[in-house]
Structure 1
Amino acid sequence: MYELTYTERVQYKRRQDTAYQAGEEAVTNLRAALALAALTLPSLSNDGPVAGHGFVRLGGCNAAFANRLAEVVAAGAHALQYQQKVVTAEKPQEAPAAPDPVVAFLLAVRRPTRTPVRVDRIPTPAH
């Protein structure tokens, strides 16, 4: 069996510490982002380094929370797509009039919802 040298052990420890810190930062960032949408995942935590990478444990949640989280992610994705279209447009004056992407996102996540929005399918008319 191969035993690590002192130098290899120190390098391994540094990689593990860096991975752990990356997990801590990811948890902090995700918790802050969820708070902007008035969402909380109580079981969100750093699960320590896994294979030299930070690992975040999201935990379980109920269906209502998962649907709300899907809405928030979709609204953020749409805002980013709109922002990229505006930035890459050849003639910005031809871009459709729309609110600032950040404002659009915040309006989307702050609106009260009663019915979950399916983000994986385009709504079809009733038969």
Structure 2
Amino acid sequence: MSLRSFVTKSTVAVAVGGTFLLSATPAQASSGWDYVGTTAFPADGQDYSRSGQALSTGGDLQFCISTGSSKFYDYDLWEYDPSNDDDFVTSVSGAGCWIVRGIGGYVDGDNNRAEFYIGTYDSSAVAVKWYD
């Protein structure tokens, strides 16, 4: 997919394969965003676990990852697609709140929504709060 997404966390921008990463503060997570819901990571002992899915109408997406780990893990944002392989969107390093910009190209299907989830090797990952 040739979509240009932008991900934000704090005030430092890092270009990663055409995606920009910055982070959001907890105050940003609560202002100007519609809360979509919280999805959990299963406690099933799998090496790579996936959170539940959250629906987005496109535009921008914010997700806040909580974990019980003190280690620094990577978290992969994916868009679920039942008719073919899921689309990798971006990877972020470290739990916290992240904003992904320009995700409208992932909206598809009969529901006219994008279905996002987080995948990680962090076995202590607890949940993801989603904002659209």
Task: Name the TM-score class by shorter chain.
Answer: under 0.3
TM-score (structure 1 length as normaliser): 0.22
Bigger CA radius of gyration: 1
The structure showing larger relative contact order (alpha-carbon pairs under 8 Å, at least 6 residues apart) is 2
Normalising by structure 2, what TM-score? 0.21
